[in-house]
């Protein structure tokens, strides 16, 4: 609601066209319907077009990432259909700090710890430098109605335990500016990762088809370890729905690349198979 009001005000100054988008997952009964009703009402009060996507996905393992995929796939299809320049998301500084700690606890590397960017392709996050308290204050001052997801208070989810337990304890006992510091570090790591991406060598032996990739083992083995890991992530990620492989997976592939033994080596992960045959590394979709 804060983002919508901010964007509406900016649209008057910069002649922007805005299209409101909302996903109803139908996971919280009447609360989900009330969320949708608020979005429709708000869009109507600003006289803006509004598109609602209804998802009935049954969530289980990896629910957060699966729901995120539904949401962003819808946003991207809507962006293309309307010829829009950007998808504008309301993540704030608190979200960034929580994401940083969440990924740190899960053992993410530099790419994961870079967390969310203010600009990432077509995605813009103009509120990333604002604290959640500042957003709530803005809503109160302008008398803007909003709703909170009651599940955000549940301690069942790791992100919520970080939000309600870990972050307040760290702020209270160690560093009152912790959220700002974590967000600053995420931004610095994003810059460092971008530099690594620009400095990464070109794998001249790389060959791609729709279901397989091959490249020279000796060529990639000649790179520094940081470049090897980066190139491998760039190769494997498109086969994983845009999500980077885990550190463990990358570690196992590097072992295969660095091995001095002559026998064939192979691993399977996330529906993919990777094999080393002589000097050739083959990555293919499992049948």
Residues 6+ positions from 234 with CB-CB distance below 8 Å: 200
Q: How far is Cα 203 from Cα 198, in angstroms, rounded to an integer?
A: 13
Question: What value does the mean pLDDT take over residues 140-150?
Answer: 92
The model's pLDDT over 225-254, given as tens digits with 9 standing for 90+, comes to 889 999 998 888 888 776 778 888 889 999
Does 249 reside within a domain? yes
Does 232 reside within a domain? yes
Most confident of 48-62, 174-188, 241-255: 174-188
Tell the residue number behind the tokens 């794998």, with chain if given: 203
CB 221, CB 192: distance < 8 Å: no
Provide long-range contacts, Cβ within 8 A and 24+ apart, for 215-222: 215/280, 215/281, 216/279, 216/280, 216/281, 217/257, 217/276, 217/278, 217/279, 217/280, 217/281, 218/279, 220/257, 220/281, 221/257, 221/258
The model's pLDDT over 82-122, given as tens digits with 9 standing for 90+, comes to 999 999 999 999 999 999 999 898 877 788 888 888 998 89
Q: How far is Cα 115 from Cα 92, in angstroms, rounded to an integer?
A: 12
Does 168 reside within a domain? no
Q: What is the pLDDT at residue 135?
A: 97
Question: What value does the mean pLDDT take over residues 161-169?
Answer: 94
Tokens coding 157: 């989810």
Which structural domain, as residue segments, surrounds residue 213? 207-285
| Residue 37 pLDDT exceeds 80 | yes
Does 237 reside within a domain? yes
Question: What value does the mean pLDDT take over residues 1-9?
Answer: 97
HSE on the CB side for 76, CA within 13 Å? 10
Q: What is the pLDDT at residue 207?
A: 93
Does 229 reside within a domain? yes
Any idea what the CATH number is for the domain that residue 254 is in? 3.30.465.60
Tell the residue number behind the tokens 């790389």, with chain if given: 206
Share of the chain above pLDDT 70, in %: 97
| Residue 259 pLDDT exceeds 70 | yes
Q: What is the DSSP letter of 163?
A: I
Q: How far is Cα 97 from Cα 112, in angstroms, rounded to an integer?
A: 13
Mean pLDDT of the chain: 90
Higher local confidence (pLDDT), 193 or 98: 98
Does 180 reside within a domain? no
Q: 282: which strand partners? A: 214, 275
Q: What is the pLDDT at residue 67?
A: 85
The model's pLDDT over 24-33, given as tens digits with 9 standing for 90+, comes to 999 888 999 9
Does 96 reside within a domain? no
Q: What is the pLDDT at residue 110?
A: 82
Q: What is the pLDDT at residue 62?
A: 64
Does 239 reside within a domain? yes
Number of domains into which the chain is organized: 1
């Amino acid at each position: 609601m804060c983002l919508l009001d901010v964007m509406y005000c900016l649209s008057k100054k910069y002649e922007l066209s805005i299209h409101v988008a909302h996903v109803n997952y139908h996971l919280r009964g009447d609360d989900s319907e009330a969320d949708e009703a608020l979005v429709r009402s708000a869009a109507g009060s600003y006289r803006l077009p509004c598109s609602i996507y209804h998802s009935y996905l049954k969530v289980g393992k990896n629910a957060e990432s699966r729901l995120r995929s539904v949401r962003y796939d819808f946003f991207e299809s809507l962006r293309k259909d309307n010829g829009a320049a950007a998808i504008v998301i309301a993540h704030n500084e608190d979200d960034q700090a929580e994401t940083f700690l969440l990924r740190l606890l899960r053992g993410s590397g530099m790419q994961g710890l870079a967390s969310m960017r203010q600009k990432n392709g077509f995605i813009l996050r103009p509120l990333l430098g604002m604290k959640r308290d500042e957003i709530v204050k803005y809503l109160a001052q302008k008398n803007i109605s909003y709703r909170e997801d009651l599940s955000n208070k549940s301690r069942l989810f790791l992100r919520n335990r970080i939000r309600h337990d870990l972050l307040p304890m760290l702020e209270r006992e160690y560093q009152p500016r912790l959220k700002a510091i974590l967000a600053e570090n995420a931004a610095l790591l994003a810059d460092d990762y971008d530099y690594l991406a620009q400095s990464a060598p070109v794998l001249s032996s790389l060959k791609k088809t729709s279901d397989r990739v091959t490249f020279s083992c000796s060529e990639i083995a000649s790179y520094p370890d940081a470049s090897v890991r980066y190139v491998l992530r760039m190769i494997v990620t498109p086969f994983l729905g845009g999500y980077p492989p885990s550190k463990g997976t990358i570690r196992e592939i590097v072992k295969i690349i660095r091995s001095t033994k002559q026998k064939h080596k192979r691993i399977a992960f996330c529906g993919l198979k990777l094999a080393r045959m002589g000097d050739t590394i083959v990555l293919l979709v499992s049948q």
